[in-house]
Chains A and B, each alone.
Chain A
């Protein structure tokens, strides 16, 4: 039982259909990448949710620090002119 505590955490990304991007679905434990892929298949795609899976060990993800949110994100809040809302998108362009 102590062994499984050593299993590292993996982040799972699933592409739900062709043409869409991989999205973060969640995380799980596995001994290695191959097991992470199989576990992800069973945990996240058993209801036909996906056509492709990426797994990456959580330790390889560098995350922003919530304490830095002020300087990282707040300056963007009042710059409405950076949003492409002044264009009309044709209906044919989906998933924008």
Chain B
């Protein structure tokens, strides 16, 4: 393998570690379309899903362009097997109840915003442009989810218990956000990708601050689990992909 093809493969993998998070979270939020707790919240969550999907498309178009195989954005979205998806475990966790939807969103948004902040200065102009456009959307997502964490946490006895339950349960997936795959390490070394470990401390500070404002307890659990970024997913992933890929698998090459 020559240097250029190694570079494009690494860069392709790197793009997927960012993009797959948005795709799978969008899919999870999409499941709620028509099922949100109120009409207004339903629309808000679907809006966020569409923002994420828009970002995903930009990333996949770029990944398809630099790929040496003849691939389209749809191939990348719909025709990979589970082990080839590089999203973190957090975003694939189910919509157990509204507390989980908000908790998952919040724990991801804080990370996502910090990542976009850095990525918009990447020397890779395409990635920088996607991040620059996306950061305004992500900034709103973070505002929405943080506000809801505070509302539920500092709400009724029941909403507080459910919000705490979700945070406690999802906490073990947060450390993976800062685990660096080979592609991430290589790209960071080349100055193109982001060394996510540089904002790990800031992440936990910001998350803790919101949780405190929400009168919730910051989990002290030190057991963390990971694997998604290297293709080892939780049991939920197969079901997500079954929904996501059904159309393309059943009617290959179909177009809207």
Q: Could you say which residues of chain B place their CB within 8 Å of the CB of A31?
A: 151
A29 to B41, CA, bound (A): 10
When the two chains form their complex, are residues A42 and B47 in contact, meaning their CB atoms are under 8 A apart? yes
Q: Could you say which residues of chain A place their CB within 8 Å of the CB of B156?
A: 3
Q: Is the interface of A mostly helix, strand, loop or mixed?
A: helix
A46 to B48, CA, bound (A): 10
What number of A-B contacts does a CB cutoff of 8 Å give? Answer: 32
When the two chains form their complex, are residues A39 and B147 in contact, meaning their CB atoms are under 8 A apart? no
When the two chains form their complex, are residues A43 and B40 in contact, meaning their CB atoms are under 8 A apart? yes
Q: Interface readout for A17-54 with B: 1 if CB under 8 Å, 0 if not? A: 00000000000111100110011011100100000000
Q: Could you say which residues of chain A place their CB within 8 Å of the CB of B147?
A: 34-35, 38
A29 to B37, CA, bound (A): 12
Contact of A28 among B40, B140, B151 (CB under 8 A): B40
Task: Give the B interface residue count (CB, 8 A).
Answer: 14
Within 8 Å of chain A (Cβ to Cβ): is B130?
no
| Interface, chain A (partner B; CB < 8 A) | 3-4, 7, 28-31, 34-35, 38-39, 41-43, 46
20 A–B contacts from the bound complex (CB under 8 Å)? A3-B156, A4-B37, A7-B38, A28-B39, A28-B40, A29-B39, A29-B40, A30-B40, A31-B151, A35-B151, A38-B143, A38-B147, A39-B40, A39-B43, A39-B44, A41-B140, A42-B40, A42-B47, A43-B40, A43-B43
